[in-house]
Each structure stands twice: as C-alpha cells, then as structure tokens.
Amino acid sequence: MKKTATMPATAKPGNRKGATDWTRVRAMSDAQVRKAALADLDAQPLTKEQLSKMPRVSRVKALRERTGLTQREFAEAFHLPLTTLRDWEQRRSVPDAPARALLLAIERDPKKMMSLLAPATA
C-alpha cells in the first residue's frame, strides 16, 4: 500500500525553521539556558533517573570515533577482525586482556600505534 498523505522533508543548511541561534545561546548564562530549556514543553531535560537508564556508548566505539576512522579503516589499521570490532561496539562481546591493552595503547597515541602497525615499506 502506497502512502500518499506524507511528503519527504528536505532541510537545507541555514534555512531550517526553528534552527538554534547558537550566538544567542552562547551569550546566555547557565541559569538562563536551563530556564529556557524548562520552558520548552516538547523537549524537557532528562531526569537523573532517565539518564541512568540510557544505554552508554561503548568505549571502543568512542575511541574509534575519536580517531575519525570508519569501522573498516580502524579494523584494518590495527589488525582487528571487522566482525570482532563490531561485536565490541555493539556490546555483544568484550575485548579480552590483550585486546584491552592494544586499545589502551591506541587510546594513548593513535597516530603512533598506526605507524607502528603499518605495513613495512620495502
């Protein structure tokens, strides 16, 4: 069945209805920002209880995103099986001790680790 009552929405940069005026927000104090947030009934801040129930981003995924690499690029750069990396990021499995040591080294100096693990040039 084809839906005819809906239309795709396209947003153009800088031409969004209701876009946030970041200059104005930066000029506000923390108290003013909080007051404005509480006044918006459609976007209430989460309570501490609600936040505690939110799923956390995996440390492995956060590390990979900080490097700016895709899953495939990260896996290839650090000689990890792509499926294993995906399992770690989706919390289906956890890195064992040697993998945690490698991840810690990558976290401390990703560029150095990439250069150390890069294929040797002849």
Q: What is the pLDDT of residues 14-31, one digit of tens each?
A: 555 668 888 988 999 999
- Per-residue pLDDT, 45: 83
Q: How far apart are CA 5 and CA 26, in angstroms?
A: 40
Contact of 91 with 54, CB cutoff 8 Å: no
What number is the average pLDDT over the span 55-75?
95
Residue type, 87: D
Mean confidence (pLDDT) of the chain: 87
Task: Quick: pLDDT tens for 89-119.
Answer: 999 999 999 999 999 999 999 999 999 999 8
Q: How far apart are CA 51 and CA 46, in angstroms?
A: 6
- Residue 114 burial (10 A CB sphere; 0-12, 13-18, 19+): middle
Q: List Cα–Cα distances, 32 to 28, 35, 86, in angstroms.
A: 6, 5, 41
Domains of the chain as residue ranges with CATH? 26-53 (no CATH), 59-117 (1.10.260.40)
- Per-residue pLDDT, 29: 93
Higher confidence at residue 119 or residue 2?
Answer: 119
122 has pLDDT over 90: no
What percentage of the chain exceeds 90 in pLDDT? 58
